[in-house]
Each structure stands twice: as structure tokens, then as C-alpha cells.
């Protein structure tokens, strides 16, 4: 039962860790049962808060239901949370709050799960979390069992198992929480021990009636012990039930109390029962009304009927009084399976209720018998198989009425599959036949069923145009009608009609010869089409054909060759496949008269040769799929001719074409085909030439003697051409023949480009360049790279398979390198590459800029540490954009820099090394004189301090922009006497500068260094003012004002939002 690769979710105590089985990974039925049980357990607690969930996997993702569950289970306040959840960050906060509550307040050890797992709906880990809660609240601490001194502490599993054993009769075996509960007997004994005499005959129950046993026991447990059915009877008796589900249900029994309902039990052993059931249909049909009668044997009672389905839900029923001792019960079952019928009688005089155990019955609701899908239009003489399913517990009869009103009772065979019956019917005449199906001598829904038979004429209808799938918009598809009668001619009575989904008739072209008529149509819209094929206005073949037309395919995969056009039985059929770089789960299959194996030979570079050998003549359908969908022109429908022992296609020869010879565009190509020894007689070979786009190329043929043919064609463009040569539909050996057409080499059209030649190139840094010979024709490419000493440098050349190459290399040292490229034997002019040394800026740093705010007209000092002062530059720019006069003094470690800001605003300090910036431009904010570097002020006023009268305004309340100075104004004029403390907490240390305006107000400046959420705390006389701490979002400088406004409007409100008690915790921006 345990999976060694799964994870355990444990509670706080060690004994709880032992009983937690691994959460298994297989998609078995036990997993569905477990999820259902856990969901019912959660809902059983959430209903106390007026809440519920539908999907355990998704409904906890915003944290609201989890917080509600935590509050119900603990009977404590979880804390403040986001009640309106719109963003992922708010979901994570809610879930984290609940998880921290379970761990920190409830002391439940939760491992292997965090808030992101629940927000991302990880079902496996969510199930583990719920089991941890069940183990803690329902099993470990839900009840207390007396322990004796010196007795070892038990695990929750042992504790529950031992308690149940103590309630069962001595000697009754009970070792687990799975198979021992599958027959309902153990549950009956447990319920009877807690509700004495409620199930007096439990020890006579048979394991064969497991569902009925379990239903009765759970019914009494729910009504008398208030045990919630966290699991259904059908789930409890399932052979794959897991122990966690069973323990969850059984954990309710130790705390259950028997409710004295004044409900006497009348058992089957009593001499006279006051009531009974009559006319109960033991096998009612789902969704069909059924009735039975209640007979009372004494006056003074009113019956109460309860009907329970397999899931423990009550089925609605009506009880109608026919006379004081006879009542009619009517109900309509809506679920399959065992249903329990429970009769109780209310004593009218005393007011108490009597349960009549002897009248309890179980019935099995059966599905509606149905006739499976069948071909309702056949030819005379065709065998029509009929299959009836879900016909349980009763005979099945099938009677067919033919066109002459004769009745044919068919021989019905019962299948090995439960409820399945089969039979066959062969129509002998054309016209309408009716199929009548009876189950338990009652017609099943839909009976009688129509069956139309048409005359069996000498026609064979085939072709891609009658395939039910694979046809696409714009495809020109054919419907072939072959005349089987070799002695007759086609008349003018054949017709093919094609109608699209809107009722519009499509144009159809027609071609005829002696034995075949071909009709071609082209669908213009996707959707369902009907193809009607008739002769003398009567349907032939399987007409009408239902066709599903799909949109044009985006797949670039193409298949072609003689094997997709025809063939001969017992002869190999061959075709080619070109993926054109779009091979996505390429698959092949063949449907036809004989089982046919497919062989696929991969030629590399997206090319493959596919072959199959049909064993019987007839129509075959070749399916070629890419990514689960038909490629262009698939399915290919071919008609295989009968085998001919005198025909030897392997003796044919094609000469003049070799794969290692390249031909030139616009020059004629000649090849020969010799069929003299094949036994084909005067039948000419079929030769088709395709260009690189698989478009046909014109050719001429000359017959020089019997069986010898000469072909000529002229290619116009370069690329790979194909020559398909076949005889009677069978490929001539070697077909399809690839023909390489290449332009003459032109080295002047070779292009070399990329950062590896254009620079800048740094030593010890990987780089690359491209050699593009797409327009240069055919030729070999040679590449060599050497340093200034002539030593070769290692290179890696990648063929892009499109006439270009990518060359990668890493120069080991700086200096002058030379690149030499040879194409088709021609030397390309050498290319000089200047490799620069790699810059190391790790030793360069700037100090003295930690405090981002300075005072105007006060000299400021900073230090630049650099090992190479000659190539280090320092430039300071004032707020007005002018370069500031600076004193720079060389030191042993770099430079000491002094400057005096003369303007108020932001100064930019740029430090570069060999024109490479060292860090981002540093910013200093200059403020007016009177700025204090302290964050604490004493406000003098004689009145008592009033923190609630202090107000904060200004752009510094957010949103703010990183690396830009901002400020807030603090007004204490009406707050009395007290100390003012200011703090800014955020992702990085944030210095602040304050200016006392001498009028009871203070201006505080600060510069946020990095994006994120900052908290501005303002305290007056050690108390937070209204709204403090203020939550401020700092956004990167690249964010546009409109985005900042949207962020402010949609996610935060900064003017007066309070985040609770003061904290210095850093909160990341999500």
C-alpha cells in the first residue's frame, strides 16, 4: 500500500507520524474515495460556519475556506486576513496565515507543504494537509481513552483499533482498517454494541450481502448515534478502500452518544409484526416510477417510509392511503445499485414511533436496457449485428418485422459480460425492417428501431470523398464507383450529391471510363457534410455517408509515393514521408480487408520510407497522423488489385538517376525504365516527378521497344526532387528516387556575419558567427581560426540544415586573430578579428555615498577604489545638468573626491572604467540648510500629547519611484507636547533626513533604493498616529505614470491604509 517515493505529512507528536500512510501516486479508485471522504469531513465542519467546498483541490486556493476551517476546528480567532482576494499575493498571505496558525497556535507540525502548493492547487499535498488535520482534531485529540500506569503510549491508529476491539464481542477478529470492514459485519457489531438491540441479527449477516449489511448499519449509526456518513456504503465495501478514509469515518464512534428516540425495534423473531410490505419490485429500473403496498395488521398506526440510495441519500417517495390498513407507496429511483426500504409506524394514541425490522427490504435498481449503436442502413444480405446492454435480471427477446410483415424471432445469446446480449439479423429484401427489443417482456426505450435495406447492386463505392474524417476545407476529394459487372457499361443513372451543414449543395465534377466513375468535390466550409451516392435514385454502398470536414491543416508533413495510389495483393507498397521540420508524434495505421503490418525506415533529416504488404485485394485506408491529426491528403484510400503470380515488379529497372549525382537547374535530365521481365505485358509504368514543394513537374516519355521507356524532364529550381515510378501501382525497386538539383557554386555570395567577427570580442568569453551559403550554390565549407602566433583556435561548427552554419569559439587571450573560410575550393578573403582583454571590475568600488541626502553648500567627500586609475573616470552632474567642479586627489588605492553641492535637488555621480559603468549612476539628494540627520524630534507645546491629531501628507506616501527623492510633511501643531519618531522599513536600509520648519511641521526626505514594499512608521509620544505604519510601494523608474496610477487604483490605497501593529519585518513585493 505504501509508495516509497511519496511524501509523508506528519502531525506534531511522534506517535502520529507512525500511522500516516504514504499518499500514493497511482490513479486508482481508492484515491477518488479518499478525496470524497476528506471533502465530506471538511464540509461537516464548515457547515458550522455556514460554509462549504465543492472541490478539495481548488477551493482552498484563495485561503478563505482554509481560514474558516481553522477557526471552526480550533474555536479560535485566526487573525486578520484579506476578505476580497484579487491577486496571487493576497492568496499567498491568506494561506500562509492559516498554515502559521496551525503550526504556531495549534502546535501541529506541518511539513512538505507551503502556501504556494495550496495556491497552485497541488492535490496530493492538499490531501496530505487534510489528513494531518483529521489525525490531529478527530483521532488524536477528539477523545481520551483511559490508560493504566506503565502502559506504553499508543499511536492514534492503535488507540482507535483497540477501542473498537473493546466494543466488539470477544473473539471477533479485527486487525486492520481496510478489508475487515468490506462485508459490513464488523460495522454492524460495532453499531449494535453502542445501540443495544438495534441490529439484533447482525451475527447472521452473510458477507455476500455486503452492501445491504453496510447500508443497514450506517443507517442506524446515522439515526441513533448521529454518525455523519463521511463515506458511502458502496465506498466502504470497495476492495481498494484505504485505511485513512475508514479511520476518518470510524473516528466519530468513540465520541458518539446514543440518542434515546423512543424507537422500539420489532425484529423478525417477534410473533406478530404490526406492518409489512407487499408487491415490492426487487429490480426496479432507474428513472422509472415503481410502487408497492404497506399493509397494517393493527389499527391506530400511521406508516412512515424511508428509502435510502447506495450513497446514503434519502429517495423521495409518496405514501397514499387507500384504507386505514392499506397504503400505496410510489417512488422513482435516480441512482443504480442497492436501495434500502425502511418501515416505521407511528402510534397515533401514544405518539411514539415503532421501527419494523421485519419489514426492512433491499432492492437493486437496474439501468435501462438499451440497444447499442448499429448500422441502420445496410444492403440486402448483409449481416447486421445487434447488441443489447444493461439488460440485467430478466430475459431479452428480439423480434424483427420484415418488409412483408413477417415476424422473425432472433436467437439471443447472453454474453460473458454482465447484462450484455447479442444477436444477428440478415435482411432478405429491400425496404424498411423494424427491430423490436423486449426486456422482461417490456419494450425497451426507443423500440421498435428502424432498419433500411437497399438492393445489392454490382457497385463498389470507395475513395477519400466518403471517409468520415481527414477531409479538410479546400481539399479536392474523389468518390469512386467501380462497376463489378465486367460485361455491362455505366449508364447515366449514377449520381453523387454533397450537402454541407447549412443545406447548400456543393458542385461535383464527374469522369467515367468503362469500369469506373469518379466524382470530385471540394468542401468550402468546415462542419458536417452528407454525401449521397445513388443509382436510379436508390442508395448504393453505405449511402448516405456522414462526413466531418475540418479546417485546413497547419502541419508541414507530406506523404507521397506509389503505395498511396494503388497496389497489388502480396506485393510490397511503398511511400515516402517528408516532415519538413514538423514531426510531432508521427503515426501510421492501415484499415482494410487484411491485417497489414507497417514498416518505417528513418532516412534522417526528416525523411522516412514507409512500406506495407497487403495480403488481400480490396480497398485500404492509410492513415498518416502528426500530433494526433491527419496530415494533408490523409487518409489515403487505395484500391489493391488481386494477386497475380505472373507479375514480378521487382524485375523492373530504372537507370540514369543516382543519389550521389547533382544536377543543375534548367538542364534536361534523362532516365530509362525497363519493365520487359516483369510479366506486365503492354501495361506502361506510371512515372510522376515532384519538385521540392511536391508539385508535379512536366515530363515526356518515349517508348523505344516493348517494355523500355525513356523519360525527360527539366528542373527549373534547385532543391530535392522525387521520381515516383510504379507498375500496376507497385513501386519499381528504388522508387521514389531522390534527385538533387543544385545551382553552381558562387563563392562571392557567401556571407559571414555575427558578433564573433564584427566584435567586440573579449578573451575567454564565448562568441559565435554565421557562415551563410544559402545563395552560393553547392559546395563544402572549411573554417580555420588562428591567433597572432599562427596557433589554431578550437571551433565548433553547427550545420543549420538550411545552407548556413553557426561557428562557436572562445578566444583564449587578447590580440589579433585571423579567420579563413574556404567554400567549394575557393578561398574567402581572410578576416581579421581584434580580441580585447576581458575587463575585471571586481576591484573597483565607491564609498562615501551611503547617506543619500546631503545639505546644500556643505562639502561632501567620497572615495573611489581602483587598481587602474588611468582608465577610471569620475563625472558629477548637478540637478541643472551642468558638470560640477570636483577636487580629485590620487591615493595608493584610487581617488579621494571632494565637491560642494550648490543646488537643491538630485546629483548624479558616474564612475566608469574603460567606458564601462561601475554600477548604476549614483544619486545624492541635496536639501536646504536646517536638515537634521536625526529621526527623533521634541515638539514643544503645553497641551497633553495627542497622537491621533498628528497628520501626514505628501508624495512620499506612495507610490514612489526607486532612486528618486521624495518627502512627506508631518503636522504636529494640534497634537500637544511629545516626542516624534520616524522610521522607514523596507527591502534595504533607507536613510532619512528631516527639516524642522519652525511652525509645528516637519518635512522628512528619503530615497528608496530598490523596488518593493516600504513601511513608513510615525510615532508620537511612543504611540502610532492614525494610519501608521503607512504601506508604500516603490516601483522601478521605467514604470510609466499610467501604470503607477493603475497599480495604486487596483491593488493598494496609500493615503490612510493601516497594516496593524508596528513591525520591522520586511515584506517583499509580489
**pLDDT tens-place string over residues 528-549:** 999 999 887 778 888 899 999 9
- The residue behind cell 400505496 is 328
**Would you give the distance in Å from CA 863 to the centre of its chain?**
57
Find, among 992, 844, 888, 982, the residue nearest to 932 by Cα: 992
Are 121 and 58 spatial neighbours (Cβ–Cβ below 8 Å)?
Answer: yes
Q: Does domain 265-365 have CATH number 2.60.40.10?
A: yes
Please, what sign has the CA dihedral across residues 557, 562, 567, 569?
negative
User: What pLDDT sits at residue 145?
Assistant: 52
All three cell numbers of 815, joined, read: 590580440
Q: How many CA atoms lie within 13 A of 200 on its CB side?
A: 12
Find, among 564, 680, 538, the residue nearest to 632 by Cα: 564
* Beta pairing, strands 653-655 & 629-630: unpaired
The domain 156-255: what is its CATH number? 1.10.418.10
Residue 1045 reports pLDDT greater than 60: no
Lowest mean pLDDT, pick from 140-149, 218-227, 255-264: 140-149
User: What pLDDT sits at residue 405?
Assistant: 87
* Beta pairing, strands 916-917 & 922-927: unpaired
User: Quick one: what percent of the chain has pLDDT higher than 90?
Assistant: 27
All three cell numbers of 831, joined, read: 578576416
Lowest mean pLDDT, pick from 131-145, 156-170, 874-888: 131-145
> Can you tell me the mean pLDDT for 168-191?
89
Are 580 and 556 spatial neighbours (Cβ–Cβ below 8 Å)?
Answer: yes
1018 forms bridges with which residues in the sheet?
982
For 747-836, which CATH class? Answer: mainly beta
Residue 930 reports pLDDT greater than 90: no
The CATH fold assigned to 14-140 is: Actin-binding Protein, T-fimbrin; domain 1 (1.10.418)
All three cell numbers of 517, joined, read: 466513375
Find, among 701, 735, 740, the residue nearest to 721 by Cα: 740
Distance CA 163, CA 193 (A): 12
3-state helix, strand, coil in the chain (%, to 5): 15, 35, 45
399 forms bridges with which residues in the sheet?
409, 436
Lowest mean pLDDT, pick from 15-29, 217-231, 754-768, 835-849: 15-29
781 forms bridges with which residues in the sheet?
823
Q: What is the DSSP letter of 749?
A: G
Distance CA 638, CA 217 (A): 65
Q: How many CA atoms lie within 13 A of 934 on its CB side?
A: 8
Find, among 433, 397, 531, 427, the residue nearest to 477 by Cα: 531
Lowest mean pLDDT, pick from 25-34, 568-577, 767-776: 25-34
CA angle 270, 275, 281 (to 5 degrees): 110
689 forms bridges with which residues in the sheet?
723
User: What pLDDT sits at residue 936?
Assistant: 44
The domain 558-741: what is its CATH number? 2.60.40.10
Residue 1028 reports pLDDT greater than 60: yes
Residue 262 reports pLDDT greater than 80: no
Q: What is the pLDDT of residues 560-578, one digit of tens each?
A: 888 898 899 999 899 989 8
All three cell numbers of 324, joined, read: 386505514
CATH 2.60.40.10 segments of the chain: 265-365, 370-454, 459-549, 558-741, 747-836, 845-926, 932-1051
All three cell numbers of 939, joined, read: 515638539
Provide the H-helix boundaries in 690-763: 755-758
Are 469 and 545 spatial neighbours (Cβ–Cβ below 8 Å)?
Answer: no
**Would you give the distance in Å from CA 692 to the centre of its chain?**
38
Residue 1064 reports pLDDT greater than 50: no
Distance CA 244, CA 256 (A): 19
Tell me the average pLDDT of the chain.
82
Angstrom distances, CA of residue 669 to CA of 263, 664, 672, 714, 779 = 103, 9, 11, 6, 21
All three cell numbers of 559, joined, read: 506523404
Q: What are phi and psi of 780, to 5 degrees?
A: -80, 145
Find, among 305, 293, 307, the residue nearest to 346 by Cα: 305
Give the contacts of 296 (CB within 8 A, at least 6 positions apart): 274, 275, 303, 324, 325, 326, 327, 345
Residue 39: which pLDDT band, with cuts at 50, 70 and 90? very high
Residue 152: which pLDDT band, with cuts at 50, 70 and 90? low
> Can you tell me the mean pLDDT for 765-779?
88
Distance CA 19, CA 932 (A): 64
Distance CA 955, CA 396 (A): 85
Q: Which helix (H) or strand (E) is 637 found in, with range?
A: strand 636-641
Distance CA 725, CA 722 (A): 10
Are 964 and 1002 spatial neighbours (Cβ–Cβ below 8 Å)?
Answer: no
Q: What is the pLDDT of residues 358-396, one digit of tens each?
A: 778 888 888 888 999 888 888 777 889 999 998 887 788
Lowest mean pLDDT, pick from 460-464, 590-594, 873-877, 973-977: 973-977
User: What pLDDT sits at residue 37?
Assistant: 92
Distance CA 1055, CA 1070 (A): 21
All three cell numbers of 951, joined, read: 497628520
Are 192 and 202 spatial neighbours (Cβ–Cβ below 8 Å)?
Answer: yes
The CATH fold assigned to 845-926 is: Immunoglobulin-like (2.60.40)
- Angle between helix 185-194 and helix 156-167 axes, rounded to 10 deg: 70
Q: What are phi and psi of 41, to 5 degrees?
A: -65, -45
All three cell numbers of 788, joined, read: 597572432
Give the contacts of 413 (CB within 8 A, at least 6 positions apart): 421, 422, 423
User: What pLDDT sits at residue 1069?
Assistant: 25
H and E: helices and strands count for the chain? 13, 74
- The residue behind cell 423478525 is 268
Are 947 and 979 spatial neighbours (Cβ–Cβ below 8 Å)?
Answer: no
Q: Which helix (H) or strand (E) is 211 found in, with range?
A: helix 210-225
Distance CA 36, CA 42 (A): 10
Distance CA 822, CA 820 (A): 7
Angstrom distances, CA of residue 46 to CA of 40, 64, 935 = 10, 12, 49
767 forms bridges with which residues in the sheet?
809
Please, what sign has the CA dihedral across residues 844, 848, 852, 856?
negative
> Can you tell me the mean pLDDT for 842-853?
78
Give the contacts of 152 (CB within 8 A, at least 6 positions apart): none
Residue, of 87 and 144, whose pLDDT is higher: 87
* Residues shown for the chain: 1070
> Can you tell me the mean pLDDT for 692-720?
85
By CB neighbour count within 10 A (0-12 exposed, 13-18 middle, 19+ buried), where does 884 fall?
A: middle
**Would you give the distance in Å from CA 928 to the centre of its chain?**
61
Distance CA 275, CA 285 (A): 26
> Can you tell me the mean pLDDT for 63-80?
91
Q: How many CA atoms lie within 13 A of 653 on its CB side?
A: 7
All three cell numbers of 846, joined, read: 565607491
Are 42 and 130 spatial neighbours (Cβ–Cβ below 8 Å)?
Answer: yes
All three cell numbers of 964, joined, read: 528618486
Domain made up of 370-454: CATH architecture: Sandwich (2.60)
> Can you tell me the mean pLDDT for 490-502?
83
The CATH fold assigned to 459-549 is: Immunoglobulin-like (2.60.40)
Distance CA 866, CA 165 (A): 81
Are 371 and 361 spatial neighbours (Cβ–Cβ below 8 Å)?
Answer: no
Q: What are phi and psi of 263, to 5 degrees?
A: -115, 80
User: What pLDDT sits at residue 273?
Assistant: 57
- The residue behind cell 486492520 is 176
Distance CA 90, CA 84 (A): 9
Distance CA 549, CA 464 (A): 12
Task: Give 932-1051's CATH code, choosing from 3.40.640.10, 3.90.226.10, 3.20.20.70, 2.60.40.10.
Answer: 2.60.40.10
Residue 76 reports pLDDT greater than 60: yes
Amino acid at each position: 500500500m505504501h509508495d516509497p517515493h511519496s511524501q509523508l505529512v506528519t502531525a506534531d507528536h511522534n506517535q502520529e507520524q507512525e500511522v500516516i500512510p504514504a499518499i500514493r501516486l497511482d490513479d486508482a479508485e481508492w484515491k477518488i474515495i479518499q478525496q470524497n471522504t476528506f471533502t465530506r469531513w471538511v464540509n461537516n465542519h464548515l457547515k458550522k460556519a455556514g460554509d462549504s467546498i465543492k472541490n478539495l483541490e481548488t477551493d482552498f486556493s484563495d485561503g478563505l475556506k482554509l481560514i474558516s476551517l481553522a477557526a471552526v476546528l480550533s474555536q479560535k480567532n485566526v487573525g486578520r486576513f484579506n476578505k476580497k482576494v484579487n491577486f496571487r499575493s493576497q492568496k499567498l498571505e491568506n494561506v500562509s496565515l492559516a498554515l502559521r496558525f496551525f503550526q504556531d497556535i495549534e502546535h501541529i507540525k506541518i511539513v512538505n507543504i507551503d502556501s504556494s502548493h495550496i495556491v497552485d492547487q497541488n492535490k496530493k499535498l492538499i490531501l496530505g494537509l487534510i489528513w494531518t488535520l483529521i489525525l490531529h482534531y478527530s483521532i488524536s485529540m477528539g477523545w481520551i481513552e483511559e490508560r493504566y500506569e506503565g502502559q506504553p503510549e499508543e499511536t492514534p491508529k492503535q488507540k482507535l483499533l483497540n477501542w473498537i476491539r473493546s466494543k466488539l464481542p470477544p473473539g471477533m477478529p479485527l486487525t486492520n482498517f481496510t478489508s475487515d470492514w468490506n462485508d459490513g459485519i464488523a460495522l454492524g457489531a460495532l453499531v449494535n454494541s453502542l445501540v443495544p438491540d438495534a441490529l439484533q441479527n447482525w451475527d447472521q449477516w452473510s458477507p455476500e450481502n455486503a452492501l445491504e449489511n453496510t447500508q443497514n448499519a450506517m443507517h442506524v449509526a446515522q439515526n441513533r448515534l448521529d454518525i455523519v456518513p463521511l463515506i458511502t456504503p458502496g465506498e466502504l465495501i470497495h476492495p481498494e478502500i484505504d485505511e485513512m478514509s475508514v479511520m476518518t469515518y470510524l473516528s466519530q464512534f468513540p465520541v458518539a452518544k446514543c440518542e434515546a428516540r423512543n424507537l422500539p425495534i420489532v425484529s423478525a423473531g417477534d410473533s406478530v409484526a404490526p406492518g409489512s410490505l407487499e408487491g415490492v419490485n426487487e429490480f426496479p429500473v432507474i428513472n422509472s416510477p415503481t410502487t408497492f403496498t404497506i399493509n397494517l395488521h393493527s389499527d391506530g398506526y400511521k406508516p412512515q417510509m424511508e428509502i435510502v440510495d447506495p450513497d446514503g441519500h434519502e429517495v423521495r417517495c409518496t405514501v397514499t392511503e387507500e384504507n386505514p390498513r392499506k397504503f400505496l407507496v410510489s417512488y422513482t429511483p435516480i441512482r443504480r445499485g442497492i436501495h434500502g426500504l425502511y418501515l416505521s409506524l407511528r402510534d397515533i394514541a401514544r405518539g411514539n414511533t415503532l421501527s419494523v425490522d421485519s419489514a426492512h427490504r433491499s432492492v437493486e435498481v437496474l439501468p435501462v436496457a438499451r440497444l447499442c449503436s448499429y448500422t441502420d442502413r445496410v444492403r440486402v444480405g448483409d449481416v447486421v449485428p445487434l447488441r443489447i446492454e444493461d439488460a440485467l435480471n430478466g430475459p431479452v427477446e428480439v423480434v424483427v418485422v420484415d418488409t412483408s410483415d413477417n415476424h422473425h424471432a432472433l436467437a439471443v445469446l447472453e454474453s460473458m459480460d454482465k447484462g450484455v446480449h447479442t444477436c444477428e439479423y440478415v435482411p432478405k429484401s429491400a425496404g424498411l425492417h423494424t427491430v423490436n427489443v423486449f426486456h422482461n417482456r417490456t419494450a425497451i426505450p426507443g423500440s421498435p428501431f428502424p432498419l433500411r435495406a437497399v438492393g445489392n447492386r454490382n457497385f463498389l463505392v470507395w475513395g477519400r470523398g466518403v471517409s468520415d474524417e481527414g477531409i479538410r476545407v479546400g481539399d479536392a476529394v474523389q468518390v469512386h464507383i467501380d462497376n463489378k459487372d465486367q460485361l455491362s457499361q455505366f449508364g447515366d443513372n449514377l449520381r453523387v450529391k454533397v450537402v454541407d451543414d447549412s443545406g447548400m449543395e456543393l458542385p461535383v465534377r464527374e469522369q467515367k471510363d468503362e469500369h469506373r466513375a469518379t466524382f470530385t468535390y471540394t468542401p468550402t466550409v468546415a462542419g458536417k457534410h452528407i454525401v449521397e451516392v445513388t443509382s436510379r435514385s436508390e442508395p448504393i454502398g453505405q449511402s448516405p455517408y456522414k462526413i466531418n470536414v475540418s479546417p485546413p491543416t497547419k502541419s508541414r508533413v507530406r506523404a507521397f509515393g506509389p503505395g498511396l495510389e494503388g497496389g497489388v495483393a502480396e506485393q510490397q507498397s511503398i511511400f515516402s514521408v517528408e516532415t519538413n521540420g514538423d514531426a510531432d508524434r508521427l503515426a501510421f495505421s492501415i484499415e482494410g480487408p487484411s491485417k497489414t503490418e507497417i514498416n518505417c525506415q528513418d532516412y534522417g533529416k526528416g525523411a522516412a520510407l514507409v512500406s506495407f504488404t497487403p495480403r488481400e485485394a480490396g480497398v485500404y485506408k492509410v492513415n498518416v497522423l502528426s500530433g494526433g491529426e491527419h496530415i494533408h491528403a490523409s487518409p489515403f484510400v487505395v484500391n489493391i488489385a488481386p494477386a497475380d503470380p505472373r507479375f514480378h515488379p521487382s524485375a523492373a529497372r530504372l537507370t540514369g538517376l543516382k543519389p550521389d549525382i547533382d544536377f543543375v537547374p534548367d538542364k534536361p535530365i534523362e532516365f530509362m525504365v525497363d519493365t520487359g521481365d516483369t510479366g506486365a505485358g503492354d501495361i506502361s509504368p506510371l512515372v510522376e516527378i515532384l519538385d521540392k514543394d511536391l508539385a508535379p513537374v512536366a515530363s515526356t516519355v518515349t517508348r523505344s521497344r516493348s517494355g523500355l521507356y525513356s523519360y525527360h524532364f527539366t528542373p527549373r529550381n534547385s532543391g530535392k526532387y522525387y521520381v515516383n515510378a510504379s507498375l500496376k501501382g507497385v513501386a519499381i525497386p528504388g522508387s521514389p528516387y531522390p534527385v538533387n538539383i543544385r545551382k553552381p557554386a558562387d563563392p562571392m555570395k557567401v556571407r559571414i556575419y555575427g558578433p564573433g567577427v564584427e566584435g567586440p570580442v573579449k578573451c575567454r568569453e564565448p562568441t559565435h558567427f554565421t557562415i551563410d551559403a544559402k545563395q552560393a550554390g553547392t559546395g563544402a565549407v572549411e573554417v580555420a581560426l588562428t591567433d597572432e602566433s599562427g596557433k589554431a583556435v578550437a571551433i565548433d561548427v553547427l550545420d543549420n540544415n538550411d545552407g548556413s552554419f553557426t561557428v562557436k569559439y572562445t578566444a583564449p587571450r587578447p590580440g589579433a586573430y585571423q579567420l579563413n573560410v574556404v567554400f567549394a575550393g575557393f578561398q574567402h578573403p581572410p578576416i581579421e578579428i581584434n580580441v580585447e582583454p576581458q575587463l575585471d571590475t571586481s576591484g573597483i568600488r565607491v564609498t562615501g555615498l551611503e547617506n543619500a541626502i546631503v545639505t546644500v553648500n556643505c562639502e561632501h567627500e567620497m572615495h573611489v577604489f581602483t587598481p587602474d586609475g588611468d582608465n577610471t573616470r569620475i563625472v558629477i552632474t548637478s540637478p541643472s545638468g551642468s558638470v560640477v567642479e570636483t577636487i580629485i586627489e590620487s591615493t595608493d588605492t584610487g581617488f579621494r573626491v571632494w565637491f560642494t553641492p550648490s543646488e537643491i535637488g538630485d546629483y548624479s555621480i558616474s564612475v566608469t572604467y574603460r567606458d564601462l559603468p561601475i554600477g548604476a549612476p549614483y544619486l545624492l539628494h541635496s536639501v536646504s540648510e536646517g536638515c537634521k540627520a536625526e529621526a527623533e524630534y521634541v515638539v514643544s507645546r503645553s497641551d497633553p500629547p495627542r497622537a491621533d491629531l498628528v497628520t501626514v501628507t505628501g508624495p512620499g506616501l506612495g507610490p514612489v519611484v526607486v532612486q528618486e527623492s521624495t518627502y512627506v510633511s508631518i503636522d504636529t501643531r494640534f497634537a500637544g507636547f511629545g516626542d516624534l519618531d520616524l522610521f522607514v522599513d523596507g527591502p534595504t536600509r533607507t536613510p532619512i533626513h528631516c527639516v524642522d520648519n519652525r511652525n509645528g511641521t516637519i518635512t522628512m526626505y528619503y530615497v528608496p533604493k530598490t523596488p518593493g514594499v516600504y513601511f513608513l512608521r510615525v510615532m508620537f509620544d511612543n504611540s502610532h498616529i492614525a494610519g501608521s505604519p503607512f504601506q508604500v510601494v516603490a516601483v522601478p523608474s521605467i514604470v510609466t505614470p499610467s501604470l503607477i496610477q493603475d497599480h495604486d487604483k487596483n491593488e493598494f490605497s496609500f493615503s490612510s491604509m493601516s497594516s496593524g501593529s508596528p513591525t520591522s519585518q520586511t515584506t517583499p513585493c509580489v
